Amino acid sequence: MAARPAPYLDELNPAQREAVETMDGPVLMLAGAGTGKTKALTSRIVHLLNTGRARPNEILAVTFTNKAAREMKLRVGRMLGQTIEGMPWLGTFHSVCVKLLRRHAELVGLKSNFTILDTDDQIRLLKQLLTAEKIDDKRWPARQLAGIIDGWKNRAWTPKQVSSAEAGAFDGKGIELYAQYQTRLRELNACDFGDLLMHVVTIFQKHSDILEQYQRWFKYILVDEYQDTNVAQYLWLRLLASGHKNICCVGDDDQSIYGWRGAEVGNILRFEQDFPGAHVVRLEQNYRSTPHILAAASGVISGNAGRLGKELWTDLPDGEKVRLIGHWDGEEEARWIGEELESLQRGRRTEKGQSLETMAILVRASHQMRAFEDRFLTIGLPYRVIGGPRFYERLEIRDAMAYFRVVTSPDDDLAFERIVNTPKRGLGNVAQQKIQLCARKHEVSLLEGAKHLLAENGIGGKGGTELRKLVEGFDRWIAEARSERLSHMELAEIILDESGYTGHWQNDKTPEGPGRLENLKELVKALEQFENLQGFLEHVSLIMDNENEESEEKVTIMTLHGAKGLEFPNVFLPGWEDGLFPSQRSMDESGVKGEEEERRLAYVGITRAERLCTISFAANRRVYGQWQNALPSRFIDELPEEHVDVLTPPGLYGGGYGAAAGGAPQMEARATKADAYNSPGWKRMQARANERPTGNPRSSRHLTIDASAISSFTEGERVFNQKYGYGVIVEVDNDKLGISFDKAGDKKVLASFVVPADKA
């Protein structure tokens, strides 16, 4: 077949072209961030197809995420100028392995319709095994065992193959329990995530005929992000490629960030030994980031030992330096970033305004996300969270809010239904039906119906006792809420405690348990900004109701790990504090391995930015409800000064909106503030910080609903709201305003989110 013209080759530099046009034999592209590895890999697929070297279904291409796979398929299609049907083998390791395993499941004792367990199921199953073995789950949690087993599977060790060095694992019972677990999975016709790869490797190792069949079928193999492959993935690739050896791997040793999950950067460094005669291509021109951003990233990563060391250059214009700013606390950081995003959207100085799609906030830990979500909800800035539901959509948050709803409006039957048997109280369908019937008979709410049912002795046993406890609880909480004796934060904690909801997650030993508890603490913390529970619930429901459709432009919030391979014109990197980034865990470890992985993560973060990169840290941060003082991250010291602009932290000098922020315990904060800014290189910041007047002006919390503002609104008044723009008030209902917006139409908005038009 004659090759069609290849305009895609013209878009490549000579080194990339070489990697694309060297079609026979092993090729390794080892190069720094943004040098066009993924682009070259994609072009290579196109080239293989275009030159007729392989049909779409004869190419095996593995990416790290499903998103990356989709993107790659799209690009291949675009470059070829036609839609690509049937690249069934372009996907993640897991998605490809599921397909393979379904075809040969019987060889590892499964049926082809096997189910894939999620982490919850996995833990539940392990718990059952521990109970059967009379192993105390408190001392030897199932979660820990799951971690150990995952680690073995990452190395493709079946129970028989587990190294004898591991014999002591899990109190010496690990290997035996692993064997039992695998047996149980087989009985259930199920496998877990780690099995997908391990089973396929086992099949290939035991059945050479099957292996040979695939070796012949996959004429070309391509792998992106090779530095993050674990041993099982590596074995799998080596088995498949050892026939024709047409394997092309691309990666960057400086971006290896999954060591904690069993990835071995050694795989990429060993490539030339594994595939003798490999063609190694190095790319040095970065097409993504400005020189300042690149230099800042290089400065940080140079702190790691044992690197291959790659020089990167770019011919893009200098652009802005990397910006660095310290804040008083995490909320102030979120507020400041919110304003920055809006100013980028409006257009700064002489710049044109930019779409929110160009902006991303990349966090080290997912608990950092809520401060941003809350701030953006408040100012009406559209955002998306990648890798997890948005805060207020999470299960535990919706449950907790259902309790609050019953307390603030006891007739809220939907909320009551949601929590009557959450946590489990022995009030299943039958009991709930009884409550329903009784409520209907007396024409009252479910809560009242439950009281009638109890009075009429219509429910007994454990369910009856528990229902009585719940109903009495609600009576108490409702009375407390009315008396306003306690703060609503205290009340919220009492409700969650006494109802058993907090305890339910404390006893939960799944990997999600601790995170859910953290979220509940975060929820209570979020309440502080409101006058009472009701105000809070209204805030959330107003915001959720007015959710816009998916087509809207949004800011992206995601973790650094999830951002691998992606790029954004404007990147914000908050939370650069020792203990958060690098993580406390990596700092506690002996040796530098953990810290070096964190440093690579910092490198990944900075190199996601195309034009503007902003790093920030806070002196005080509330983590899981506890205030903590923090020192600026050690990685900040490693940013080369000539490529960094230190911005004035607005909160420190009582200027800007800082006067309204705060909430950190003052003594604690003052004792360590000098420390916080004492890192070498930031003398300027420290000097300024010391000039700060003593007396902390920030005693009250921000965003209290300003009563004078509420009462001052009248019908017919022209107002402005961040999200909906200008409009006229058509209805005043206490603190809720009905507004007819010029562009957005009629909406209900809390008065606190509105300003008079002439003050906008």
Q: 710 vs 90, 117, 530, 704, CA distance in Å?
A: 57, 52, 14, 12
**CA atoms of 401 and 421, how far apart (whole Å):** 15
- Choosing among Mg ion, ligand ATP, none, which partner's interface includes residue 338 (Cβ < 5 to 8 Å by kind)? none
- Choosing among Mg ion, ligand ATP, none, which partner's interface includes residue 704 (Cβ < 5 to 8 Å by kind)? none
Identified catalytic residue from 63, 182, 227, 255: 255
**CB of 37 vs Mg ion, minimal distance in Å:** 5
DSSP 87: -
- Whose Cβ is closer to ligand ATP: residue 556's or residue 752's? 556
Residues that bind ligand ATP (CB under 6 A): 11-13, 16, 33-39, 252, 255, 287-288, 565, 567, 607
Closest CA to 22 of 31, 32, 12: 12
**CB of 640 vs ligand ATP, minimal distance in Å:** 21
- Whose Cβ is closer to Mg ion: residue 37's or residue 599's? 37
**CA Rg value for the chain:** 29
- Choosing among Mg ion, ligand ATP, none, which partner's interface includes residue 668 (Cβ < 5 to 8 Å by kind)? none
455 is in an annotated binding site: no
**CB of 563 vs Mg ion, minimal distance in Å:** 11
- Cβ atoms of 245 and 26 within 8 Å: the answer is yes
37 is in an annotated binding site: yes
Task: Say whether 748 is catalytic.
Answer: no
- Choosing among ligand ATP, Mg ion, none, which partner's interface includes residue 127 (Cβ < 5 to 8 Å by kind)? none
- Choosing among Mg ion, ligand ATP, none, which partner's interface includes residue 252 (Cβ < 5 to 8 Å by kind)? ligand ATP
- Whose Cβ is closer to ligand ATP: residue 376's or residue 603's? 603
Task: Say whether 120 is catalytic.
Answer: no
Name the CA dihedral angle for 698, 704, 708, 711, rounded to a multiple of 10 degrees.
180
- Whose Cβ is closer to Mg ion: residue 34's or residue 338's? 34
Contact stretch for Mg ion (CB under 5 A) within 30-38, 157-165, 505-513, 588-596 = 30-38
- Whose Cβ is closer to Mg ion: residue 565's or residue 651's? 565
- Cβ atoms of 136 and 171 within 8 Å: the answer is no
Token readout for 218 is 């996959």
Identified catalytic residue from 16, 37, 228, 698: 37
Token readout for 225 is 């992000």
31 is in an annotated binding site: yes
- Whose Cβ is closer to Mg ion: residue 38's or residue 246's? 38
Long-range CB pairs of 648-653, under 8 A, 24+ apart, other chains included = 648/325, 648/688, 649/325, 649/326, 649/327, 649/328, 649/685, 650/332, 650/336, 651/327, 651/328, 651/329, 651/332, 651/698, 652/326, 652/328, 652/688, 652/689, 652/692, 653/688, 653/691, 653/692
32 is in an annotated binding site: yes
Name the CA dihedral angle for 78, 80, 83, 88, rounded to a multiple of 10 degrees.
-110
Q: Is 38 in the site for Mg ion (CB under 5 A)?
A: yes
**CB of 292 vs Mg ion, minimal distance in Å:** 21
- Whose Cβ is closer to ligand ATP: residue 35's or residue 354's? 35
- Choosing among ligand ATP, Mg ion, none, which partner's interface includes residue 288 (Cβ < 5 to 8 Å by kind)? ligand ATP
Task: Say whether 37 is catalytic.
Answer: yes
465 is in an annotated binding site: no
Identified catalytic residue from 127, 288, 335, 608: 608
Q: Where in 519-578 is the site for Mg ion (CB under 5 A)?
A: 565
Binding-residue total with Mg ion (CB under 5 A) = 3
Residue with tokens 């006494």: 498
Mapping DSSP to helix (H, G, I), strand (E, B) and coil, where does residue 7 land?
helix
**CB of 39 vs ligand ATP, minimal distance in Å:** 4
Sign of CA dihedral 10, 13, 14, 17: negative
**CB of 269 vs Mg ion, minimal distance in Å:** 18
- Choosing among ligand ATP, Mg ion, none, which partner's interface includes residue 13 (Cβ < 5 to 8 Å by kind)? ligand ATP
DSSP 702-734: TT---HHHHHH--TT-EEEETTTEEEEEEEEET
111 is in an annotated binding site: no
Element (H, E) at 279: strand 279-281
Task: Say whether 224 is catalytic.
Answer: yes
Task: Say whether 205 is catalytic.
Answer: no
**CB of 525 vs Mg ion, minimal distance in Å:** 37
Task: Say whether 608 is catalytic.
Answer: yes
DSSP 545-602: HTPPPTTS--EEEEETGGGTT--EEEEEE---BTBBTTBHHHHHSSSSHHHHHHHHHH
Report CA 627 to chain centroid distance, whole Å.
Answer: 22
Residues written for the chain: 760
- Cβ atoms of 375 and 335 within 8 Å: the answer is yes
**CA atoms of 715 and 729, how far apart (whole Å):** 5
35 is in an annotated binding site: yes
Identified catalytic residue from 192, 195, 225, 595: 225
Token readout for 281 is 């291509």
81 is in an annotated binding site: no
Residue nearest to Mg ion (CB): 38
* Residues identified as active-site: 37-38, 224-225, 255, 608
Write out the binding residues.
31-38
Contact set with Mg ion (CB under 5 A): 37-38, 565
Binding positions for ATP are: 31-38
